[in-house]
Amino acid sequence: MRILSDVPVGDIVKVKSNDAKDSLKERLLALGLTNGADIEVLRKGPKNNLTVFRIRGAMIALRKEESKYIKIM
């Protein structure tokens, strides 16, 4: 099972499931991290933790703590 936080920079992946809970899940869904969404990994920040993704045409930075809940195909 691959998770979003393990995807290397430059790859484009598809969301398989969003396993976050409660308000984080709401937030991620609101940003467009729904099943089947295409996500491009743009850049890793300091300490390789915060990562910039292109989600639905916007650049969104997520920490590993959040992106680990996104399973990808």
Partner 1 sequence: MGLTVQSMKRNSMNDVRLIDNSDNKYVIALAGNPNTGKSTVFNYLTGLKQHTGNWPGKTVVNARGEFKHNNKDYIMVDLPGTYSLFTSSKDEEVARDFICYGKYDAVVVVADATCLERNLNLVFQISEISNNVILCINLIDEAKKKNIIIDKEGLESELGIPIVLTAARSGIGMQKLKNTIEQVSHNKKRYEPNIVKYNSNIEKNIETLKPFLEKLNISNTRWTALRLLDSEEDVVPDKQLHSLLNKANITVDKEVIREQISEENYNYANKLKQNYVSEDIKKINLDKKIDDIITSKIFGIPIMLSLLGLIFWITIQGANIPSQILSDILFGFQDKLTLLFKTLGVSDFLIGMLVDGLYRTLAWVVSVMLPPMAIFFPLFTLLEDLGYLPRVAFNLDHMFKKSCAHGKQSLTMCMGFGCNAAGVIGCRIIESPRERLIAILTNNFVPCNGRFPTIIAVSTAIFITSKISGGIISALSITIIVVIGILITLLVSYLLSKTLLKGIPSTFTLELPPYRAPQIGRIIYTSIIDRTIFVLSRAVLIAAPAGAITWILANINIGDFSILIHISNLLDPIARMIGLDGFILMAFIVGLPANEIVLPVLIMAYLSTGTLTDIGSSEYFRQILIDNGWTYLTALNVMLFSLLHWPCSTTLWTIKKETGSIKWTVVAFILPTAIAFIVCFLTTTIYRLIF
- Cβ distance to partner 1 smaller for residue 8 or 57: 57
Tokens of 47: 């300490």
SS3 at position 6: helix
Q: Which of residues 8-67 bind partner 1 (CB under 8 A)?
A: 18, 20, 23-32, 34-37, 42-47, 49-50, 52, 55-63, 65-66
Q: How many CB atoms are located within 10 Å of the residue 15 CB?
A: 20
Under the criterion CB under 8 A, does residue 3 sit at the interface with partner 1?
A: no
The beta strands (E) that lie in 26-66 are given as: 38-44, 51-55, 58-62
| Interacting residues toward partner 1 by CB under 8 A | 18, 20, 23-32, 34-37, 42-47, 49-50, 52, 55-63, 65-66
